[in-house]
Structure 1
Amino acid sequence: MALAEQLRLPPEVNQIIYVRNLPLKITPEQLFEIFGKYGPIRQIRRGVASDTKGSAFVAYEDIFDAKNALDHLKGLQVAGKYLSVNYLQKDRITKKAEIRKAKQEIENLKKEFKST
């Protein structure tokens, strides 16, 4: 049994990390340089909307590479900004999407009743 198989990771650990407080002018090459030191990267997705700029999702090939990156990069200073690095919490994203959908439905109902 390999060492990686013997280790038990906390349930929140996964292959995708969520990074906030990135410099707005950081290039894709710089992102790959910073995060690629910890293992092969499957994908990096940067936030482009006004409320997601300065954030990114980094998906690693291996869960242990993601854990290593998070352990080393949390609080790293990049261009005068300290990075906030956490594991992707899929249930939080799903919950936010559900709330957004419910709010939109309420707004639609309000519009419908105003017009009648």
Structure 2
Amino acid sequence: MAFSAQRGANVRLPAEVNRILFVRNLPFKISSEEMYDLFGKYGPVRQIRLGTAQDTRGTAFVVYEDIFDAKAACDHLSGFNIMGRYLIVLYFSPTKQTKKTDLAAKEAEINEMKAKYGED
């Protein structure tokens, strides 16, 4: 732990950097063990969630213990070829997720108002 604190002593990271990575373009046949082997090279991994539903296959969330380990993994594994697929590794951004739901709610509200006041 002291080593992690030293690494980040006077380092400013970009705002989008966080401990949670979103990985796309994974081979469908990759196992959790292979994921831990690959991402564990960059530091302790707290959790990996592989997408199993039809619309989430080929994706995963990787949660690191330390933000600097997540940054190293993102930097080194973006574009990495595994089983013939090139990985897309991004920082997870919960604000992007909420913006999508907020937009849908606002559109519904606007449509409701239009219907109420007879606008097309």
TM interval, short-chain normalised: 0.7 to 0.9
Q: One-letter code of the match for 1:51? A: D
Counterparts of 1:79 and 1:15, CA distance in 2: 25
Q: Summarize the Cα distance change of 1:59–1:25 in structure 2 as closer, same or farther, 3 Å threshold.
A: same
Counterparts of 2:106 and 2:56, CA distance in 1: 21
In the alignment, structure 1 segments of 5+ residues that lack a partner are 110-116
Q: One-letter code of the match for 2:34? A: Q
Q: What SS does the aligned partner of 2:33 have? A: helix
Moved over 3 A (4+): 97-103
Q: How does 1:30-45 map to 2 (within 5 A)?
A: 30-45=34-49
Q: What SS does the aligned partner of 1:6 have? A: coil
Instruction: Give the superposition deviation at 1:98.
Output: 3.6
Q: How large is the RMSD of aligned CA atoms in angstroms?
A: 1.9
Instruction: Give the superposition deviation at 1:102.
Output: 6.5
Sequence identity of aligned pairs in percent?
Answer: 51
Instruction: Give the superposition deviation at 1:2.
Output: 2.8
TM-score of the aligned structures, taking structure 2 as reference length: 0.79
Q: How does 1:1-116 map to 2 (within 5 A)?
A: 2-99=6-103
Counterparts of 1:97 and 1:42, CA distance in 2: 28
Counterparts of 2:59 and 2:36, CA distance in 1: 14
Q: One-letter code of the match for 1:71? A: D
Q: What SS does the aligned partner of 2:8 have? A: helix
In the alignment, structure 2 segments of 5+ residues that lack a partner are 113-120
Counterparts of 1:67 and 1:49, CA distance in 2: 28
TM-score of the aligned structures, taking structure 1 as reference length: 0.82
Instruction: Give the superposition deviation at 1:88.
Output: 0.4
Q: What SS does the aligned partner of 1:2 have? A: helix
Instruction: Give the superposition deviation at 1:67.
Output: 0.2
Counterparts of 2:49 and 2:33, CA distance in 1: 13
Counterparts of 1:74 and 1:37, CA distance in 2: 14
